[in-house]
Amino acid sequence: MNKPHPDHFQADYTADVVIIGAGPVGLAIANYLGQAGVQVLQIEKLDQLIDYPRAIGIDDESLRTVQAIGLVEQVLPHTTPWHAMRFLTPKGRCFADIQPTTDEFGWSRRNAFIQPQVDAVLHRGLARFANVRTLFSRDVVEFQQDEQGVSLRMNGPEGCQESVRARYLVACDGGNSLIRRTLDIAFEGKTAPNQWIVIDIANDPLGTPNVYLCCDPVRPYVSAALPHGVRRFEFMVMPGETEEQLGKPENMRKLLAKVLPDPDRVELIRKRVYTHNARLASQFRVKRVLLAGDAAHIMPVWQGQGYNSGMRDASNLGWKLALVVKGLAGEALLDTYEQERRDHAKAMIDLSVLAGHVLAPPKRWQGTLRDGISWMLNYLPAVKRYFLEMRFKPMPQYTKGALVTEPGSKNKASPVGRMFIQPKVLTESGDIRLLDDVIGSNFAFIAWGNDPLWGLSSAQVQAWRALGACFIQVLPEVQLKAGREVPDGVVRVGDCTGRLKEWFGRYPVSIALLRPDRFVGAVAIPQTIGQASDVLLRALAAQPQAGQQAPLASKVA
């Protein structure tokens, strides 16, 4: 639907960005755009947020995204950090005890959570912004786009019809996305041949922490401890079984008898049957429409990456869309969203499918082979540690997009395109803070030991400050007391953990230029930072002179 926008069209609502869907990805993007001052209208088909548990794992990258929108302190009480994942053989032997204990991004690598509680925090966070409005009970029925924006028509409460006009549309409307289907974007992949029944129970009848995945060929199952005394069980639906049959009390009792000594003494919250899909959209952007979250990719649950991949979308897209809407960057910057996110989403889909095959191999002999290999790993400590510390998890490293790399280089050792660490630092006022809290949701020049402005011209500094960049000088903690003078606007922090010194010591660089999503956009030394700065500004399609472009209003017409 790409017909020209009629001149006589009078919208009931107007906005800079309209977001379809009030799931976690849509809520995260709305919060990011809200704090950036962008006029946002969020539309949700349901009459309220979904209240039944879905995702149960939130990782360190997602918590860093929530930190960036100022809500992490409200989210943490609904999480269980350092959540281990243990794979069991049919006889109960633990053949893989995944205990990710690293916190290089500032938070626990794996955390249990209950999604509706965190979604509610994200939704309440929107109340901070007068420029963000959420409409429930609105069902989008059609849309069209032109060179200036996107027009929507939707059915509202009591059968009323309403219209929306916005400059950009972000589709976070799930795996069955109307927006993606209307644009005829292929959704390539597979649907798993089996389903799983999910049972959530209050007042956890087991009480043991962590997640257990039992690779039982008769009926694989999962047992997961969640915050606030909730226990989740997941059982594979075997061939010939139906949701209706499994939902009968006598069959539910048989399932729970596999994992509980007294299956009759439970407080059932709810049960649902899920199908595991592995699908990826062929495009994430069509002109002024962008796909995010499940609308762009869906994956099996076994690595807990469906939710977290969606939050990576939000982190990547939010700052880019804000710059474009505010006239600080050209539309070409939006092309880098697909360039950077699609390949990694595919890698996470592949990992999730592989983990599903480990839990429930398609063939019985594959399970026997798995158990034998796991036993042999005990004699290969380095290889076993690779798996148990989750080093197999493909961390995003962008090789093209809004970043500066050497022509033709695909150097996996380079920090460019990787997420920067987030240690605690000492401020000049004497506070210990996480690095991102010092930076804010901005670009940042982080220089080890030196003045980060030294190699930049006044025009370059002005260009970066127009984009909201901050300039940080990192010193060994003890040197903060020396009281060195720095130019106005330069922030000095002390490396009180030694992690920043260790990071810079790994590479032949002393300045890292960070993007708002905390990915390294460029690295340099003081003598080359000016050149790297110019190249990155071009990659961002930066247009600071257009920063006064007036946004659309978001008031009811």
pLDDT per residue as tens, the chain (557 positions): 334 344 445 789 999 999 999 999 999 999 999 999 999 999 999 999 988 778 899 999 999 999 999 999 999 999 999 998 888 887 777 777 777 778 999 999 999 999 999 999 999 999 999 999 999 999 999 999 999 999 999 999 988 999 999 999 999 999 999 999 999 999 998 876 678 899 999 999 999 999 998 888 788 899 999 999 999 999 988 888 888 888 888 999 999 999 999 999 999 999 888 887 889 999 999 999 999 999 999 987 665 578 999 999 999 999 999 999 999 999 999 999 999 999 888 888 877 666 655 555 555 545 555 455 555 555 545 545 545 444 545 567 898 999 998 654 455 689 999 999 999 999 999 999 999 999 999 999 999 999 999 999 999 999 999 999 999 999 999 999 887 778 889 999 999 999 999 999 999 999 999 999 999 999 999 999 999 999 999 999 887 543 333 333 332 22
pLDDT at 389: 47
CA 216, chain centre distance (Å): 32
CA distance 258 to 455: 66
pLDDT at 439: 96
CB atoms within 10 A of CB 234: 19
pLDDT at 10: 77
- In the block, tokens 């990258």 appear at 61
pLDDT at 91: 79
Range 284-294 burial, b when 16+ CB lie within 10 A, else e: bbbebbbbbbb
Tell me which DSSP letter residue 413 carries: T
- Rounded to a whole number, what is the distance in angstroms from the first to the last CA of the chain? 24
Range 354-380 burial, b when 16+ CB lie within 10 A, else e: ebbebbbbeeeeebeebbeebeebeee
CA-angle at 409, arms to 404 and 413, nearest 5°: 85
CB atoms within 10 A of CB 76: 18
CA 7, chain centre distance (Å): 38
Domain with CATH 3.40.30.10 in the chain: 424-539
pLDDT at 520: 98
- Sheet strands side by side (includes 85-88): 94-98, 85-88, 211-214, 221-226, 230-237, 187-202, 267-281, 297-298
DSSP string, 511-534: EEEE-TTSBEEEEE-TTTHHHHHH
CB atoms within 10 A of CB 467: 20
CA distance 201 to 190: 31
pLDDT at 511: 98
Those residues with Cβ within 8 angstroms of residue 188's Cβ, 6 or more apart along the chain or in another chain: 279, 280, 281, 282
Nearest residue to 63 (alpha-carbon basis) of 122, 127, 8: 122
CA distance 370 to 289: 44
H or E stretch covering 108? none
Quick check: helix, strand or coil at residue 198?
Answer: strand
When computed from its CA atoms, the radius of gyration of the chain, rounded to whole angstroms, is 25
Quick check: helix, strand or coil at residue 553?
Answer: coil
Q: What is 13-77+113-188+278-350's CATH number?
A: 3.50.50.60
pLDDT at 349: 80
Q: Burial-class residue 206 by CB neighbours within 10 Å (0-12, 13-18, 19+).
A: middle
pLDDT at 146: 96
Those residues with Cβ within 8 angstroms of residue 46's Cβ, 6 or more apart along the chain or in another chain: 22, 136, 137
Quick check: helix, strand or coil at residue 65?
Answer: helix
Superfamily name and number for 424-539: Glutaredoxin (3.40.30.10)
Those residues with Cβ within 8 angstroms of residue 505's Cβ, 6 or more apart along the chain or in another chain: none
Task: Please list the residues that pair with 494 across neighbouring strands.
Answer: 426, 475
Domain with CATH 3.50.50.60 in the chain: 13-77+113-188+278-350
Residue 281 near residue 180 (C-beta atoms within 8 A): yes
CA distance 119 to 108: 20
pTM across the whole model: 0.89
- In the block, tokens 């006239």 appear at 327
